[in-house]
Structure 1
Amino acid sequence: MDWITHEEDVWFEFRGNSPHQLVPGRFYRGTVDGYADFGVFVDLAPNVTGLLHRSELDKRLESLTWEPGDDVFVQVKNVRDNGNIDLGWSIRQGENEFRGARIHDPDGEADNQPVESDKSEQTATIKTKPVSGKRRHVGEKSEPKSAAAETQSVETEVVEAEPETEETTADDESRAPTASDVVGNLEEETEEAEAESEQETEEAEAESEQETEEAEAEEAELPERVSLGIIGDHVGDHVTVEGTISSVRQTGGPTVFELRDESGVVDCAAFVEAGVRAYPEVNVDDNVRIVGEVERRRGELQIETEDLTVLEGEESEAVEQRLADALSDEARPDAIAPLADHEPVAAVGASLLDAAEAIRRAVLESRPIVVRHTATADGYVAGAAIERAVLPLIREEHPRDDAEYHYFTRRPLDEAVYGMDAATNDVTRMLEDRDRHDEKLPLVLFLGAGSTTESLDGLGLLGVYGAERVVLDAAPADEEVAGETDVLVNPAREGADARDLSVGALAATLSVAVNADVRDDVSHLPAVTYWENCPQQYLDLAADHGFDADRVRELREAVALEAYYQSYQDKRELIADLLFDADEGLAGHVSEQFRIKVEDEVETAEANLEARDVHGVTAVVLDSDAFSHRFDFPPTALLVDELHRRNRDGDRFVTVAFGTDELYLRATGDLDFRTLVESAAAKAPAAGLGAAGIREGRIEFLTGAREEALDAVLAAVAEQF
């Protein structure tokens, strides 16, 4: 026979048990297993499943009408070394569209034998049932029937009547009905109706009682309830699980409910039809019971949902109590173990515990964590420290490969003020995620940002929607901020002097409280955040972990350069490579670019510094519009920092870089910046002076009053000194 040379016209029934027994190029009959966003999984044999990628389809994935269990025909395109099977689309989706069918039995004698089909021998039979004899009275509504039911009713309900004769017809026509006949007929019909009603009532009661008994029996026969922490021990078993719905995702195939209990999280897939929401009455935060089979798909555990019930009353309360007890035990660390002995860090031990508990609880409750930090070396290092601690917890808690990107986000800020622009961005995203993806509202963690009154409006907007807010700052926080935060970590509020504490050093300590396993990973980070005057204990700590002074400097400069470019991006992988990768080549390369760019800019700036003496205060002033590249590295804030470090002389010294409508101020002495701006505004009321950034030392003014604004600021500085 020439079927061997025409395998494209023949479909095969696979009876093997390994993907590597398949023959690429052949067409096989398979069974739809389920849908994913990227295609359809098709079972060719038990434990042999391939992927028909959406790119292989001749139509949109969403338009497929296949359901799990449907027979389909596919072509094996490729079998990879790891056993993954790439399937192709077959335009033939019926047996009669192929020339024939063969058995592919790699280990048996039936290999290459024709597939015997007995479908042609099957005959359809129609079963009839007697007519009930029930009649519908005037005003009684008939129950709606499906099309199939109506067809069956028409085909099967046949009334047999006695044949009429001419004699009986004539008698009936000749005799007129009497009153007694009418009364008798009415009484007969009434009796029949009452009997029929009584029978229907009895049938309904019996049916209800049967349903109750079946429900009780079904409940009694529920599979054993297991905790999600040991679900991996029950692959292939039917189980009962209880917990809270953390999120709901609608894929192109099943609806995926992420379920959390006191011991873990698992995805539960429920299928109605492709792209259709299963159990639409179930929402995030509902306490539920799910019955299904535990499976492992592409290396991840999943429960194929057979039944999902929303719990109420005592059953729901029991689930909530189990979760609450477990969260309390698991979320709060036992104690703070500082990276080094540092008084301002020790002063905030209790609030650091509160912050660590809030972060860990968010992970356990499947709430996203959004980190807001400044786009500076200190800010990026602080954010990376928290990221290093939280991501392993998310990976451990959530089986999805992309969970760490889904539940943790860093969003750098151009400045330390959390204004309405940033807050509106965050609120818009979180509400969209809530409405479209049933996501919980996030915990927003501020590192070196959001601790001054200028951020109150933004913090308040988050609070309106119930997002949790945790603020951590080394610089003194304004008192009003405490009322708009859930946790505030600030040494100044504990009476500690934190002038030698960086945000990165404080955040690194918090990261170890969140996840003690990262202690060695982050021990060098505090030293990286200091441009000068780094406490010796942090330098020693970095050296103990293999980071000498030159290596620390390279890391700081490299992060500072990368923080500037695409400052609104977290650059997660790049920053992690710089700070945690043992290869020194990357940091050395980037830090060299930093030094070249800074030296070029400083050289130009120093040649154009204007020195002024204001009531005994020495000031050097740079017109940053005229003598710096405003839209290239380094930014003005970093440039004025470098100029101040290199040129300061004495305790009464300030460096000012002023541009079109803003200036940056650095001073060797202590200044009350907000009071200084108020004083300057009083001296030049037409200049529109305002404190735009307390942490950055940035003051805004009107473009037409540049000189008046500068003179007023310098005079206010002299008054404070």
Structure 2
Amino acid sequence: MGSCIICGSSVDGRVCELHEEDVVFEFRGTQPDELTPNRYYRGTVDGYAEFGIFVDIGDSVTGLLHKSELDQRLDSMDLEPGETIFVQVQNVRDNGNVDLGWSIRQEKSRFRGALIDDPDAEQELLDEEEDEAEEQAEETEDIGEPEPVESTTEEAEPEETDESTEAEESVDESEPETEETEDSAPEFEQATVDQLDDLVGNRVRLEGEIETARQTSGPTVFELRDETGTVECAAFEEAGVRAYPEVDEGDIVRIEGEVERRRGDLQVETEALVILTDDERDAVTERMEEAVVQRARPAEFEALTEDPAVEAVAEPIRDAATAIRRAIIEGRPIVVRHAGNADGYAASSAIERATLPLIRDEHGAGEAEYHYFDRRPLEGSVYDMNDATKDITTMLQNRDRHGETLPLFVFVGAGGSAESIDGFDLLDTYDARRVVVDERTIEEGVAEAVDILVSPTLEGDYETSATVLGATVGAHVNPDVREELGHLPAVSFWEDTPDQYTALAAETGYDADDTRKLREAVALEAFYQSYEDKRELISDLLFADEAEDPVGLAEHISEQFRERIETEIETAEANLEERTVDDETILVLDTESYTHQYEFPPEPLLLDELFRRHRDEAGALIGVGTDEAYIRSQTGVDVRAVAERAGDEAPGAAVDVRGARDGRIEFLSGERDAAREALIDALADELAALQTA
């Protein structure tokens, strides 16, 4: 038994349970499971990520201080690598990940005591006790060393003789032998990153690209990527001083050093680093390019089921899958931007489902999947300057603060309209690669603004869904999840689901009623918190455990969907206006007056359902709100032509297309009445022109 260092009560150890949170510990263990949850520990900042701060607890264990645990925004934290902070160990997971919390005490003096947490010791030591022990050890060493005896006679001083001269000459003659010994050190062995696991303790030569360079309180750490993987290379100039300041991210270099393990991870202790130029640089770049493309490219194309629309874009699908797989290999974050509807969510979730296991395999479990993959819904299907500016800002912050490489952007069910081109051009300014997977007609200029484009409409008169394409891309990103994606295409069709996808869903264990419930549940959840990806919730909906109930959660949410949309449809139908212009019948709904603002369903979804129920009565439906209108038709109305004609008729309304493929047109709210009438007339003219054609 001992006494608590705070209150003096009897206790096993050095602190009682009541006062354990008043003590800060210094960790001397080597394994995460040796930490004690709920204790406060002294740590040092190791680095930043988008989702939090990595903190070293002792010399061998690193934990994550998630941004949600901070008392201020992550981007406002003024902490440098190597800086001391105090954190609480909240949880040690089975996989070794350590969850940390922020301590409001950020000075050691604010704790009521300090202990050493050494798993090899019988009990914790006070900091002061350890200091005293070290002092006693030093004193003992000093006492044990004999005092040097000073000579008091001249005879004790050696005289310079010919013999001593000969001895000095003998020493000089031995110097070449020392040089030969140094020269005989093992030469550097040419190696690649994937070979380093078997070369620990050896001196190696690596060639590749500098991914990141970060300065710690000690060495400068360069992350080197070659054609087989990445490894950290530590170069020490002086504590906290940048080694090789001329080396920057993107440089092709040769590094020589010794392979070591640090906290279980491989690291190269750098002895020399040289920037390669001209032919040497080109040779390394070409070798890396060929190797990564070969590794990333899917072996062959195989559709989920027979589908001419998908087979028409077999090579672009392989190209898209290659780009995603390559980003994973290179440690490049992937940002998926998708339409904010059920089709967009299902399509992007298919790619997410395929990508996350590969990220875990490549970069480890834990928070890696959140660091290297982000799914962000769009308001509609347009990627505008507002979206692009937000992405660029986040991208540059991550690059400058955390050394993150520029991401690969994948647009799913979005990006095919001309309104997205300015956003793509802004990304291109920073050389961020862009992949578009879109099922609808691709407008002029889009193909030139992106790197990879997947759309059957470029190959012929095909109709499909974004999820059909997204699931097929996902199956080629990761063939291991192919069977898990089989039901998703059927989820994406609101009506007239192709027979082959109904059959494929049935093979996966989902009947038509199941896929309907999933579609409606995802549509409802897509509306709420529409700017959040809702990763776990959407995954739970779309990929439930079939052995239990594949649509248990979805069924409950689907019931809410039906109740809410039926209420809105009933109100809308009671206030539908039927207009006949030049023998063309158009249904008009005043969405400003007869829909609930900021409530489910959103106007586009409501108008879709309303038109499906009444399209036999009219050629088109237009919903007119405060400063925008949505057009629905079944004859391929050219929304841009409608907006142009309406603009000529109501020049003061500033009529403009906001999203042609979404049927969305904007105007000035002060000219709403004029814009409304002009749009109805222009829509009737367009319908008549289509009838004539």
TM-score of the aligned structures, taking structure 2 as reference length: 0.75
- Aligned CA distance change for structure 1 residues 439 and 605 (closer, same or farther; 3 Å): same
**Alpha-carbon distance between aligned partners in 2 of 1:252 and 1:608, rounded to the nearest angstrom:** 69
| Map of 2:430 onto structure 1 | 465
**Alpha-carbon distance between aligned partners in 2 of 1:20 and 1:708, rounded to the nearest angstrom:** 69
| Map of 1:91 onto structure 2 | 127
| Map of 1:122 onto structure 2 | 145
| Map of 2:271 onto structure 1 | 307
Structure 2 residues without counterparts, runs of 5 or longer = 4-9, 16-27, 37-42, 48-53, 62-83, 89-102, 151-171, 688-693
Match of 2:535 among 566, 569, 572: 572
| Map of 2:87 onto structure 1 | 55
- Aligned CA distance change for structure 1 residues 278 and 398 (closer, same or farther; 3 Å): farther
**Shift of the alpha carbon at 1:565?**
1.3
Q: What is the correspondence of 1:353-364 to structure 2 with a 5 Å cutoff?
A: 353-364=318-329
**Alpha-carbon distance between aligned partners in 2 of 1:126 and 1:563, rounded to the nearest angstrom:** 87
**Alpha-carbon distance between aligned partners in 2 of 1:214 and 1:312, rounded to the nearest angstrom:** 30
**Alpha-carbon distance between aligned partners in 1 of 2:553 and 2:149, rounded to the nearest angstrom:** 78
| Map of 2:384 onto structure 1 | 419
1:508 aligns with 2:484: no
Contact persistence 1:76–1:88 (CA under 8 A):
yes
Q: 532-541 vs 574-583, which deviates more?
A: 574-583
SS at match of 2:128: coil
| Map of 2:651 onto structure 1 | 685
1:633 aligns with 2:600: yes
1:38 aligns with 2:55: yes
Contact persistence 1:265–1:397 (CA under 8 A):
no
**Alpha-carbon distance between aligned partners in 1 of 2:107 and 2:345, rounded to the nearest angstrom:** 42
Contact persistence 1:33–1:43 (CA under 8 A):
no
Contact persistence 2:233–2:270 (CA under 8 A):
no
**Alpha-carbon distance between aligned partners in 2 of 1:716 and 1:618, rounded to the nearest angstrom:** 13
What amino acid does structure 1 have at the position aligned with 2:575?
A: N
**Alpha-carbon distance between aligned partners in 2 of 1:623 and 1:548, rounded to the nearest angstrom:** 37
SS at match of 1:356: helix
Match of 1:390 among 336, 346, 355: 355
**Shift of the alpha carbon at 1:275?**
6.7
- Aligned CA distance change for structure 1 residues 542 and 239 (closer, same or farther; 3 Å): farther
Q: 253-262 vs 35-44, which deviates more?
A: 35-44
- Aligned CA distance change for structure 1 residues 8 and 323 (closer, same or farther; 3 Å): same
- Aligned CA distance change for structure 1 residues 120 and 354 (closer, same or farther; 3 Å): same
What amino acid does structure 1 have at the position aligned with 2:132?
A: N
| Map of 1:492 onto structure 2 | 457
**Shift of the alpha carbon at 1:280?**
4.6
**Alpha-carbon distance between aligned partners in 2 of 1:325 and 1:458, rounded to the nearest angstrom:** 30
**Alpha-carbon distance between aligned partners in 1 of 2:366 and 2:280, rounded to the nearest angstrom:** 32
| Map of 2:255 onto structure 1 | 289
Q: What is the correspondence of 1:251-400 to structure 2 with a 5 Å cutoff?
A: 256-268=221-233, 280-286=245-251, 287-295=253-261, 297=263, 301-303=265-267, 305=269, 307=271, 309-313=273-277, 316=281, 319-399=284-364
**Alpha-carbon distance between aligned partners in 1 of 2:238 and 2:369, rounded to the nearest angstrom:** 29
**Alpha-carbon distance between aligned partners in 2 of 1:116 and 1:357, rounded to the nearest angstrom:** 66
| Map of 1:240 onto structure 2 | 204
Q: 535-544 vs 92-101, which deviates more?
A: 92-101
What amino acid does structure 1 have at the position aligned with 2:518?
A: L
**Shift of the alpha carbon at 1:451?**
1.9
Contact persistence 2:412–2:438 (CA under 8 A):
yes
What amino acid does structure 2 have at the position aligned with 1:701?
A: F
Deviations 1:644-685 (A, max 9, x none): 1122225x4322221111111111222122112212222222
**Alpha-carbon distance between aligned partners in 2 of 1:210 and 1:368, rounded to the nearest angstrom:** 53
What amino acid does structure 2 have at the position aligned with 1:227?
A: T
**Shift of the alpha carbon at 1:361?**
2.2
**Alpha-carbon distance between aligned partners in 2 of 1:23 and 1:709, rounded to the nearest angstrom:** 68
Q: What is the correspondence of 1:322-721 to structure 2 with a 5 Å cutoff?
A: 322-399=287-364, 401-494=366-459, 496-498=460-462, 500-582=463-545, 583=549, 584-650=551-617, 652-721=618-687
**Shift of the alpha carbon at 1:556?**
0.9
Contact persistence 2:305–2:504 (CA under 8 A):
yes
**Alpha-carbon distance between aligned partners in 2 of 1:639 and 1:602, rounded to the nearest angstrom:** 7
| Map of 2:75 onto structure 1 | none
| Map of 2:79 onto structure 1 | none
**Shift of the alpha carbon at 1:94?**
5.3
- Aligned CA distance change for structure 1 residues 595 and 248 (closer, same or farther; 3 Å): farther
Contact persistence 2:255–2:270 (CA under 8 A):
no
- Aligned CA distance change for structure 1 residues 422 and 318 (closer, same or farther; 3 Å): same
- Aligned CA distance change for structure 1 residues 20 and 256 (closer, same or farther; 3 Å): closer
- Aligned CA distance change for structure 1 residues 61 and 378 (closer, same or farther; 3 Å): farther
Contact persistence 2:244–2:273 (CA under 8 A):
no
**Shift of the alpha carbon at 1:530?**
0.9
**Shift of the alpha carbon at 1:703?**
1.4
**Alpha-carbon distance between aligned partners in 2 of 1:708 and 1:21, rounded to the nearest angstrom:** 71
Contact persistence 2:520–2:558 (CA under 8 A):
yes
Contact persistence 2:45–2:85 (CA under 8 A):
no
**Alpha-carbon distance between aligned partners in 2 of 1:463 and 1:538, rounded to the nearest angstrom:** 36
Deviations 1:477-536 (A, max 9, x none): 112122211122222222x112x3111111111122222222112121111111112211
**Alpha-carbon distance between aligned partners in 2 of 1:489 and 1:23, rounded to the nearest angstrom:** 50
Contact persistence 1:370–1:411 (CA under 8 A):
yes
- Aligned CA distance change for structure 1 residues 629 and 241 (closer, same or farther; 3 Å): farther
SS at match of 1:118: helix
TM-score of the aligned structures, taking structure 1 as reference length: 0.72
What amino acid does structure 2 have at the position aligned with 1:291?
A: G
Contact persistence 1:35–1:252 (CA under 8 A):
no
**Shift of the alpha carbon at 1:274?**
7.8
SS at match of 2:331: coil
- Aligned CA distance change for structure 1 residues 214 and 533 (closer, same or farther; 3 Å): farther
- Aligned CA distance change for structure 1 residues 674 and 88 (closer, same or farther; 3 Å): farther
- Aligned CA distance change for structure 1 residues 478 and 424 (closer, same or farther; 3 Å): same
Deviations 1:459-486 (A, max 9, x none): 1111122111222211111121222111
**Alpha-carbon distance between aligned partners in 1 of 2:270 and 2:405, rounded to the nearest angstrom:** 26
Q: Would you say how many aligned residue pairs link Structure 1 and Structure 2?
A: 589
**Alpha-carbon distance between aligned partners in 2 of 1:434 and 1:62, rounded to the nearest angstrom:** 33
Match of 2:116 among 69, 75, 87: 75
Contact persistence 1:34–1:41 (CA under 8 A):
no
Contact persistence 1:40–1:53 (CA under 8 A):
no
Contact persistence 1:420–1:457 (CA under 8 A):
yes
- Aligned CA distance change for structure 1 residues 617 and 280 (closer, same or farther; 3 Å): same
Deviations 1:333-392 (A, max 9, x none): 233211122222222222222222222222222222221111111111111111122222
Contact persistence 1:232–1:301 (CA under 8 A):
no
What amino acid does structure 2 have at the position aligned with 1:96?
A: E
What amino acid does structure 2 have at the position aligned with 1:613?
A: T
Deviations 1:438-465 (A, max 9, x none): 3222221112222222122111111122
What amino acid does structure 2 have at the position aligned with 1:303?
A: Q
Report the RMSD for the aligned CA atoms in angstroms. 4.3
What amino acid does structure 2 have at the position aligned with 1:54?
A: F
| Map of 2:193 onto structure 1 | 228
- Percent identity of the aligned residues? 44
